[in-house]
Amino acid sequence: MFADLSGKIALVTGGGQGLGLGIVLKLAGQGADIAIADLSEENAAAAAKQVEALGQKAYTAKMDVSDKDSVIAAVDKINSEAGQIDILVNNAGVAGAPGSTGTGFRDEDWDFTWKINVKGLADVTEAVLPQMRERKDGKIINISSVAAKAAKYQTAYYATTKMAVVAYTQALAREFAIENINVNAVAPGRIWTQFHQDWMKEREALGDEAVIGKEKYDVFMGALKEVIPMGRPQEPSDIGALVTFLASEEARNITGQTIQCDGGQVMQ
């Protein structure tokens, strides 16, 4: 094991598919029991079976991070079943409101994206924090994005929320360092998940000539090679490996950091 998480319980929001599932499986592979909080109970249940196949316990809870009551109910359910939450991974996020054009400044895109990517992330964190503070121990990993530093290739509202995640991460890390709670963020680059595939479909429906009639993965790879020095996409397992390290005691002196996993797109 590169990061022994035996005996730890990790809560991953949006853990039922895509990037979240990649994180879930890496954490479970290093010995953590996993609580999967997802809007889709079906996806959460399927992910739980994969965790159990790795020999770890799995717990599920339906969670809508845009609804604070739903967040509190889900965290209470997980605590009652699992006993506590040692690791929190705030992965749930959106790129815009349903029907987003990917351009412009629609109020609904600003409101929806902020409500989930920032306020929802904060609500989940603040529901879990009290038990970590009581134990004086905990690891929180927030999923930001390369868009926080390379907004040229993303919508303004999405990039803004992901930079807000960086600021929130730093503020919490400073405030709770004295209580032995590590708070970090991971900024993924370009990943071919349902998240990106759905965005491509929306672009096609809106008449984007860069997408219409073309193999979507080829479009994705073409754009990727223009901006990523390593010339390859990131995989959910890549992000999961970094999250797993940050959740381990090997990273006990790392806090308040946002670490890129983007094939070199952003270098700092």
Catalytic residue among 157, 158, 168, 217: 158
Q: In this structure, what token pair is assigned to residue 185?
A: 């963020």
Number of domains observed in the structure of the chain: 1
Instruction: Return the CATH number at 88.
Output: 3.40.50.720
Asked if the structure places residue 229 within a domain, the reply is no
DSSP 191: B
Active site residue 168: no
Residue 50 has pLDDT above 60, yes or no: yes
Residue range of the domain that includes 181: 9-191+235-261
Asked if the structure places residue 41 within a domain, the reply is yes
Least confident of 39-43, 204-208, 251-255: 204-208
Asked if the structure places residue 56 within a domain, the reply is yes
Asked if the structure places residue 2 within a domain, the reply is no
Asked if the structure places residue 4 within a domain, the reply is no
Separation between Cα atoms, residue 110 and residue 15, nearest integer Å? 24
Asked if the structure places residue 153 within a domain, the reply is yes
- Please count the CA atoms within 13 angstroms of the CA of 208 that sit on its side-chain side: 16
Asked if the structure places residue 121 within a domain, the reply is yes
Separation between Cα atoms, residue 238 and residue 259, nearest integer Å? 12
pLDDT, tens only, 117-164? 999 999 999 999 999 999 999 999 999 988 778 765 557 888 999 999
Residue 231 has pLDDT above 60, yes or no: yes
Q: In this structure, what token pair is assigned to residue 193?
A: 């998940």
Asked if the structure places residue 15 within a domain, the reply is yes
